[in-house]
Structure 1
């Protein structure tokens, strides 16, 4: 079963733009908090993997759809769901209001495995990571 992780957050003042809504680029920060919460929940530590195996997992593709704005001090839930973890790590993201269930934002991201120091693209995600993520 593919891994999913929810994290509850609150909009801080410094994330707002001049229109008093969350600046569009901050949604990727929220996605990253959920992504690394998901990794931690299944026992995957990408920093430890880097130091032990000399492999990194850069983001190669992202997309986002803004539906409803988030405002100062508003609580929200960001969900990360793994959709692929064999040849790349692909995740879907959803930000919603916990009280109403309204979806505010949807997004996607993809990561690949790259071996250091020569920056060689690996054509598979290491099996221990793939299995931990449900694939």
Structure 2
């Protein structure tokens, strides 16, 4: 059974800056991936997991192995967005997430959905490594 802290959805807020947009003021498609990445990093931080410590102490890092993203509506310059992270599966050496990006408005307009898989790797040789058992414990 998955720890309730891991299963609980997590939300991170971000504002769209000029540098995130194209000439028309629309968020450039690759920047959605950056928002998703930052939200997963903040989710780990929220759980008390330091990626720097994980690398320094255990020689482990995470690498994205698969992304399936669907763009539904454009985010625009100065929009405030809510990026969600929900852990769907933990395997021996990987985690799969369901993520979304919504406009931070009363109706929470859905802009983007993504399914992301991250593998745990040994930094030394970039080979798969088991997730440390203590990683997500209180």
Mapping 1:115-134, distance limit 5 Å: 115-122=122-129, 124-131=130-137
Q: Which residue of 97, 101, 107 maps to 1:95?
A: 101
For structure 2, the residue ranges without an aligned partner over 5 or more in a row are none
Mapping 1:77-88, distance limit 5 Å: 77-87=82-92, 88=94
Whole-Å separation in 1 of the counterparts to 2:51 and 2:96 = 15
Whole-Å separation in 1 of the counterparts to 2:111 and 2:26 = 12
For structure 1, the residue ranges without an aligned partner over 5 or more in a row are none
CA contact (8 A) 2:70 2:114 kept: yes
Instruction: State the Cα distance separating 1:54 from its structure 2 match.
Output: 1.0
Is 1:114 the counterpart of 2:111? The answer is no
RMSD: 1.5
CA contact (8 A) 2:49 2:136 kept: no
- 2:25 maps to 20
Instruction: State the Cα distance separating 1:107 from its structure 2 match.
Output: 0.8
- 1:51 maps to 56
Instruction: State the Cα distance separating 1:130 from its structure 2 match.
Output: 4.7
Aligned residues: 131
Instruction: State the Cα distance separating 1:131 from its structure 2 match.
Output: 4.5
In terms of mean alpha carbon deviation, does 108-117 or 45-54 score higher? 108-117
Q: Show CA shifts across 1:10-51 (max 9, x none).
A: 110011112321000000110111101100111111221110
Q: Which consecutive aligned stretches of 4+ in structure 1 deviate over 4 angstroms post-superposition?
A: none
